[in-house]
Amino acid sequence: DMARLRRCIDERGKIVGRRKTGNSAKIQRKVTIAIKRARHMALLPFEIRDVRR
């Protein structure tokens, strides 16, 4: 689910650590793999550029 994956990345597109998300290590590994797959399929960006420039 893309909405769940978007909650696990910050405003710059980086994967948020499990201490901030509250995930267990097992779930965090699954989330990380899912985010990387979504990036590869172009569903999520690799990085979000700063719009203020």
Q: Domain ranges in the chain?
A: 2-40
The pTM for the full model equals 0.83
Question: What residues are paired with 15 via a beta bridge?
Answer: 9
pLDDT 10s digits, 6-50: 999 998 899 999 999 999 999 999 999 999 999 999 999 888 887
**Band of residue 53 on the pLDDT scale cut at 50, 70, 90:** low
- Phi, psi at residue 33, to the nearest 5°? -65, -40
Cβ count within 10 A of residue 8: 19
